[in-house]
């Protein structure tokens, strides 16, 4: 395909029509500095030792400029447009370095998959930099392959590249560029040529110099590999012997394979463009770099419609409609489809017609509009148009079955189309069918886009059956005899089409099948009256084909085929199968299903497209209920993971094999995945090393990686450290793995790298001792360190290790804000060091967790003395189970009531504070201003005596002071009497408490009544109430249950 914009030999005076371009938008971003290849990058025998004659170069550039400086446009609603300078309307296309995999899915499937991607900061490549090394690469590329779906802009990119070179704007180190479109090389396939003779036929000036001297830097551009009509047999040609001399005559295919392999003109640069499915014709070893051209993102879609439609209100209505129909909005990824939609909707909205809601309706309306325009312009009869549409449909169908997108005169004659008739027709209705002058010679014909060819092909098949009772899909004699012996029905036709599509190896009939099935629906019959007087189908045939497709989905082993059949069911307005899957997945029943693995894969891949965007892919949600192992399902679903921002793959029995697939997802050239949780899988060191290699890829955008309890040892740490130095990781959780001190020291080397972006590191229970702390302290103290959160809980660091670690916190460069040292075998000796760190002017600590350490009252007193220091920024302090008694409460009260204290959250769970301790702590909160919002007192040996004091605090909270929002009194013997006292505080309008936990506090129905009464008095704040492990009574007894359903009350969660 010519990607909509096409070569025009002259640049005439431009029409003053106000209509904007149908594809590109104005931009000067392509005018970058030329690529400068250093001489030392090329072998000595390939360097250019003599200057090339300037007059010959100027002549060659001048000829190319004449041919490429303008683009021609089809007529716009009947108004002929003159060619327009490419530089005025060109927009720099989005080109990204691609992978090595060839995608054999139908391009519409690829677009639908791409549509689930979110906007990301991919590494992009400007068109003029296509041969420039990427970051981290030293050598320039010799051979580049650029892929992209039909209509995405490959040919336009080539045209712009060559034009900028010819105008002296870029790549001036190249002496000669030879653009060789495959559509024109096809005309040379049956004769033998030397390279010089072949080029001379296109470029007369080539005769004036000797290519064999290797003194000239030359670029060959082989545009449109997918349009090639001869076989490029690299293996056979290599065995027979590639051509090595530019004067040696041979066939075109041998010339091209010799050029690409480097046996002929090994210093020449080669740029090949192709649709994805055809790219595998080139051996991977012959390609140095693969790039991909992407389509419009959501912002560009809207921008296009607003520029294309001058009426702002109409443009907004069209955008709203396209967004409301997901299948149409997805297709707007292709610029040509945006133009088709704008053409149809602009015309229909003005006439208030029925707006298309499916692809078939959009394309059928588009065809009808073109017929109407031609009829109005030439005052033709409808029958003339119908006959021509039928002929074009036949051409579209025959060439689609052969896999051809461009046609020549002999192809037209076979379909009864006279060449003169085709010229007239293409000149009038170029928005469907085009006759193009080649860049150098000959004429070729094509449809504006592959999807238009597929729609016309389906229309031809359907109309052939309706008007002539002929099934053109049956080619062989036996099939025709069978059709004659029994009454042929529309069901037979559609079943044949389904079978043909399933037999296709590359899915080239997938969209054709969708169009054909949709045309058979009664809903679309009225539209066909514009094209045929014979219409009709039956509800019986409709039901038959739906059942037939469902059977084929169950029988077919290929998930890709099953996916297209599911889309076919959508075209038939049949959604029961997908709905059944949802019911099964979200039901509580776990009965086995008779669906095969391939169907589950297809259905699950459909789920993101049929519902909202997939933000989280939770394998357990599917794996627990599917008739296959979670890992087996995952191996079928890399596209779903690629289309997800977060993937939860915990406890899925993953192995090293899974890591290999995950690595391919992480390095894919369209990485959406930002968060990956692999915890509780036996990945082992071998799997982690594979994954780490993927993280180092420039394409990887993974920011969060969790691998808790994954059988990882210190042997993985070197690979992870290397990944940290070149990845996008912001958070890494390696908890519950035996990394040992040696492993953490290796990790620390990665943290020390200035390119490391890691902010959160969790190493809970990793068999660490004090020997690991010095390395971590060094990493923390570096100016380049990004680490803001460190969790070293449940490691035997001891007091000596903490002292080493805190040396890093004393450094002004340290950015650490969260430090968790729970259960690290610490004593009061650590508290003195921590107190000094907290009071340091350099400290940034906001959260400190020292739970499950024997700090005792003396240690906490040392620590809390510094909380009052103006330099202390601590906001969250966890001292759960630290052997504290009532003696600590006085110093706690003093710290909390200090004007300089910033504490907002205090955890004192599981300490023997008793009522006497709480009476020392709480009155200070009642009297003085404080910032405390969360107070946890679970398991502190409290009774109802503490509740009276707490109620007083809740009643007297000041408007100019922070108020308690969360209070945890679980596992204390408060009883109903204590709850009664506490409820008096909850009744107060000054109380702002939102969460109250009274788990296992001996509360009964009586206590619930007190709480209900309190909420009735002050209904506006409490949102969560935990009474679990108590006896609050059932639905008929517990008065709190009725409050949840009552509008004035905010109670959302009652346990």
Residue 422 pLDDT exceeds 70: no
Residue 435 pLDDT exceeds 60: no
The C-alpha R_g of the chain, in whole angstroms, comes to 36
Decide: 259 and 265 in contact? Cβ < 8 Å.
yes
Compute φ and ψ for 1044, nearest 5 degrees.
-60, -30
Q: How many C-beta atoms lie closer than 10 Å to residue 25's C-beta?
A: 15
Residue 192 pLDDT exceeds 80: yes
Compute φ and ψ for 937, nearest 5 degrees.
-130, 30
Mean pLDDT of the chain, nearest integer: 76
pLDDT at 794: 94
pLDDT at 72: 52
Q: Name, of 84-93, 376-385, 783-792, 988-997, the range with top average pLDDT.
A: 783-792
- Stated as kind and residue range, the H or E segment containing 330 is helix 326-331
818 CB contacts (<8 Å, ≥6 apart)? 788, 789, 790, 791, 845, 846, 847
The string of pLDDT tens digits covering residues 244-302 is 677 888 888 889 988 998 888 888 999 999 887 778 788 878 888 888 887 777 777 88
What is the C-alpha separation between 436 and 427, in angstroms, rounded?
10
Decide: 394 and 407 in contact? Cβ < 8 Å.
no
Place of tokens 């099948």: 513
The string of pLDDT tens digits covering residues 902-920 is 888 999 999 999 989 888 8
Q: Which residues of 610-638 are buried (b: 16+ CB within 10 A; e: fewer)?
A: beeebeebebeebbebbebebbebbbbbe
Angle at 512 between CA 507 and CA 518, to 5 degrees: 130
CB-count exposure of residue 990 (10 Å: 0-12, 13-18, 19+): middle
Averaged pLDDT for residues 202-209: 73
CA 280 to chain centre: 24
- Please, which residues bridge with residue 407 across strands? 445
Residue 375 pLDDT exceeds 70: no
Residue of 1019 and 1035 predicted with greater confidence: 1019
CA 266 to chain centre: 38
Decide: 245 and 79 in contact? Cβ < 8 Å.
no
pLDDT at 89: 57
CB-count exposure of residue 240 (10 Å: 0-12, 13-18, 19+): exposed
Residue 559 pLDDT exceeds 70: no
**Helix (H) and strand (E) counts in the chain:** 42, 28
What is the C-alpha separation between 981 and 1011, in angstroms, rounded?
10
Q: Name, of 120-124, 674-678, 691-695, the range with top average pLDDT.
A: 674-678
What is the C-alpha separation between 695 and 702, in angstroms, rounded?
7
Q: Which residues of 196-208 are buried (b: 16+ CB within 10 A; e: fewer)?
A: bbbbeebbebbee
Q: How many C-beta atoms lie closer than 10 Å to residue 486's C-beta?
A: 8
754 CB contacts (<8 Å, ≥6 apart)? 784
Place of tokens 């298309």: 356
Decide: 326 and 181 in contact? Cβ < 8 Å.
no
Compute φ and ψ for 827, nearest 5 degrees.
-130, -170
Nearest Cα neighbor of 395 from 322, 356, 447, 449 is 447
Question: Tokens for 998?
Answer: 């009274």
pLDDT at 118: 37
Residue 30 pLDDT exceeds 50: no
- Stated as kind and residue range, the H or E segment containing 919 is helix 914-927
Averaged pLDDT for residues 473-497: 66
Give residue 824's pLDDT band: very low, low, confident or very high (50, 70, 90).
Answer: very high
Residue 7 pLDDT exceeds 50: no
What is the C-alpha separation between 16 and 18, in angstroms, rounded?
6
pLDDT at 771: 92
Q: How many C-beta atoms lie closer than 10 Å to residue 160's C-beta?
A: 25
What is the C-alpha separation between 801 and 544, in angstroms, rounded?
75
Residue 154 pLDDT exceeds 90: no
- Count Cα neighbours of 629 within 13 Å in the Cβ-side half-sphere: 9
Question: Tokens for 784?
Answer: 């380049």
Q: How many C-beta atoms lie closer than 10 Å to residue 583's C-beta?
A: 10
- Please, which residues bridge with residue 849 across strands? 820, 878
Question: Tokens for 883?
Answer: 């052997």
pLDDT at 589: 45
pLDDT at 434: 54
pLDDT at 419: 65
* HEC letters along 287-320: CCEEEEECCCCHHHHHHHHHHHCCCHHHHHHHHH
What is the C-alpha separation between 1038 and 434, in angstroms, rounded?
77
Place of tokens 């994805």: 276
User: Looking at the chain, how many residues does it have?
Assistant: 1055
CB-count exposure of residue 867 (10 Å: 0-12, 13-18, 19+): buried
The string of pLDDT tens digits covering residues 97-141 is 665 445 555 556 566 555 544 333 445 678 888 888 876 667 778
pLDDT at 790: 92
Residue of 89 and 1013 predicted with greater confidence: 1013
Question: Tokens for 317?
Answer: 């209505």
Residue of 1022 and 996 predicted with greater confidence: 996
Place of tokens 């409490």: 1022
Where do the DSSP E strands lie in 528-579? none
Question: Tokens for 533?
Answer: 């007087």
pLDDT at 745: 92
Domains of the chain: 55-295 (3.40.50.300), 305-355 (no CATH), 363-568 (no CATH), 654-817 (3.80.10.10)
Nearest Cα neighbor of 421 from 459, 463, 392, 464 is 392
pLDDT at 162: 92
What is the C-alpha separation between 1000 and 1017, in angstroms, rounded?
25
* HEC letters along 399-463: HHHHCCCEECHHHHHHCCCCHHHHHHHHHHCCCCEEEEECCCCCEEEEECCHHHHHHHHHHHHHH
| pTM > 0.85: yes or no | no
359 CB contacts (<8 Å, ≥6 apart)? 327, 328, 331, 451, 511, 514, 515, 518
Q: Which residues of 271-298 are buried (b: 16+ CB within 10 A; e: fewer)?
A: bbbbbbbbbebbeeebbbbbbbbbbbbe
Task: List the 176-181 sheet strands across, edge first.
Answer: 95-97, 289-293, 143-147, 269-274, 218-223, 176-181
Decide: 724 and 758 in contact? Cβ < 8 Å.
yes
Residue of 781 and 1018 predicted with greater confidence: 781
């Amino acid at each position: 395909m010519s990607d909509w914009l096409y070569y025009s030999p002259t640049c005439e005076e431009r029409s003053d029509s106000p209509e904007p371009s149908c594809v590109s938008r104005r931009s000067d971003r392509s005018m970058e500095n030329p690529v400068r290849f250093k001489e030392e990058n090329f072998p000595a025998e390939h360097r250019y030792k003599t200057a090339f004659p300037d007059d010959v170069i100027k002549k060659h550039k001048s000829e190319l400029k004449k041919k490429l400086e303008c683009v021609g446009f089809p007529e716009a609603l009947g108004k002929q447009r003159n060619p327009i300078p490419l530089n005025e309307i060109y927009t720099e296309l989005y080109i990204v370095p691609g992978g090595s995999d060839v995608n054999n899915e139908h391009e519409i499937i690829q677009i639908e998959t791409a549509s689930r991607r979110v906007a990301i900061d991919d590494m992009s490549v400007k068109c003029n930099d296509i041969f420039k090394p990427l970051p981290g690469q030293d050598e320039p590329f010799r051979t580049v392959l650029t892929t992209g779906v039909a209509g995405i802009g490959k040919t336009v990119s080539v045209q712009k590249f060559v034009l900028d070179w010819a105008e002296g704007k870029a790549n001036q180190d190249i002496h000669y560029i030879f653009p060789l479109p495959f559509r024109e090389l096809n005309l040379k396939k049956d004769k033998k040529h030397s390279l010089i003779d072949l080029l001379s036929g296109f470029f007369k000036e080539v005769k004036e110099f000797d290519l064999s001297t290797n003194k000239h830097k030359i670029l060959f551009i082989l545009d449109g590999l997918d349009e090639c009509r001869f076989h490029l047999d690299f293996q056979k040609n290599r065995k027979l012997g590639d051509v090595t001399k530019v004067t040696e005559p041979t066939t075109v295919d041998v010339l091209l394979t010799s050029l690409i392999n480097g046996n002929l003109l090994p210093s020449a640069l080669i740029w090949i463009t192709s649709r994805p499915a055809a790219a595998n014709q080139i051996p991977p070893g012959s390609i140095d770099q693969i790039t991909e051209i992407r389509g419009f993102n959501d912002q560009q879609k809207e921008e296009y419609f607003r520029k294309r439609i001058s009426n702002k209100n109409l443009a907004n209505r069209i955008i709203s409609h396209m967004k409301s129909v997901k299948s149409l909005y997805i297709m707007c990824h292709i610029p040509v489809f945006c133009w088709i939609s704008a053409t149809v909707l602009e015309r229909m909205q003005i006439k208030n017609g029925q707006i298309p809601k499916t692809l078939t309706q959009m394309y059928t309306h588009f065809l009808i509009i073109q017929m109407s325009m031609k009829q109005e312009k030439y005052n033709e009869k409808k029958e003339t148009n119908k006959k021509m549409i039928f002929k074009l449909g036949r051409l579209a169908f025959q060439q689609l079955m052969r896999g051809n997108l461009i046609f020549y005169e002999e192809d037209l004659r076979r379909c009864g189309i006279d060449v003169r008739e085709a010229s007239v027709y293409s000149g009038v209705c170029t928005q469907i069918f085009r006759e193009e002058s080649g860049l150098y010679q000959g004429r070729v014909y094509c449809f504006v886009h592959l999807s238009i060819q597929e729609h016309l092909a389906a229309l031809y098949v359907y109309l052939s059956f309706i008007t002539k009772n002929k099934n053109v899909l049956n080619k062989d004699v036996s099939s025709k005899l069978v059709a004659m012996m029994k009454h042929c029905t529309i069901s037979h036709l559609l079943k044949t089409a389904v079978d043909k599509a399933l037999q296709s190896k590359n899915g080239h009939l997938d969209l054709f099948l969708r169009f054909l099935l949709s045309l058979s629906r009664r809903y679309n019959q009225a539209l066909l009256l514009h094209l045929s007087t014979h219409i009709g189908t039956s509800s019986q045939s409709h039901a038959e084909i739906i059942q037939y497709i469902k059977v084929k989905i169950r029988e077919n082993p290929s998930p890709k085929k099953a996916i297209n059949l599911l889309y076919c069911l959508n075209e038939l307005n049949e959604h029961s199968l997908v709905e059944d899957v949802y019911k099964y997945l979200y039901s509580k029943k776990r009965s086995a299903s008779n669906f095969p693995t391939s169907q589950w894969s297809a259905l699950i891949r459909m789920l993101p497209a049929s519902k909202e965007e997939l933000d989280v892919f939770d394998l357990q949600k599917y794996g627990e209920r599917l008739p296959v192992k979670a890992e087996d399902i995952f191996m079928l679903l890399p596209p779903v993971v690629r289309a997800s921002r977060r993937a939860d793959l915990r406890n899925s029995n993953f192995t090293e094999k899974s890591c290999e697939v995950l690595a391919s997802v992480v390095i894919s050239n369209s990485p959406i995945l930002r968060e990956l949780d692999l915890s509780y899988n036996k990945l082992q060191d071998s799997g982690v090393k594979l994954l780490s290699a993927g993280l180092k890829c420039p394409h990887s955008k993974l920011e969060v990686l969790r691998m808790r309890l994954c059988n990882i040892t210190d042997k993985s740490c070197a690979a992870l450290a290397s990944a940290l130095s070149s990845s996008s990781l912001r958070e890494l959780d390696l908890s519950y793995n035996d990394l040992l001190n040696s492993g953490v020291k290796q990790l620390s080397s990665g943290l020390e790298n200035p390119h490391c972006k890691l902010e959160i590191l969790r190493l809970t229970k990793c068999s660490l001792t004090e020997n690991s702390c010095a390395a971590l302290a060094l990493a923390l103290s570096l100016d380049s360190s990004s680490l803001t959160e460190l969790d070293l809980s449940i490691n035997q660091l001891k007091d000596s290790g903490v002292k080493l670690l805190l040396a890093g916190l004393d450094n002004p460069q340290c950015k650490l804000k969260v430090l968790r040292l729970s259960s690290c075998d610490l004593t009061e000796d650590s508290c003195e060091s921590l107190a000094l760190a907290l009071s340091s002017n350099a400290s940034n600590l906001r959260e400190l967790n020292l739970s499950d350490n024997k700090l005792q009252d003396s240690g906490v007193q040392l620590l809390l003395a510094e909380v009052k220091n103006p330099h202390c920024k601590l906001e969250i302090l966890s001292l759960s189970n630290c052997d504290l008694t009532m003696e600590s409460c006085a110093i706690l009260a003093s710290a909390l009531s200090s004007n300089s204290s910033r504490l907002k959250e205090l955890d004192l769970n599981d300490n023997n504070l008793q009522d006497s301790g709480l009476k020392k702590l709480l009155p200070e909160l009642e009297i003085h201003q404080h910032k405390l919002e969360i107070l946890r007192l679970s398991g502190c040996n409290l009774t109802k005596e503490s509740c009276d004091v707490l109620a007083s605090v809740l009643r007297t909270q000041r408007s100019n002071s922070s108020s308690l929002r969360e209070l945890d009194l679980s596992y204390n013997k408060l009883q109903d009497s204590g709850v009664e006292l506490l409820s008096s505080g909850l009744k107060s309008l000054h109380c702002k408490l939102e969460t109250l936990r009274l788990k296992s506090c001996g509360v009964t129905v009586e206590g619930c009544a007190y709480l209900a009464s309190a909420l009735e008095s002050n209904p506006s704040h409490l949102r969560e109430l935990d009474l679990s492990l108590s006896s609050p009574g059932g639905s008929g007894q517990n008065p709190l249950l009725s409050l949840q359903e009552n509008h004035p009350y905010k109670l959302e969660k009652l346990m």
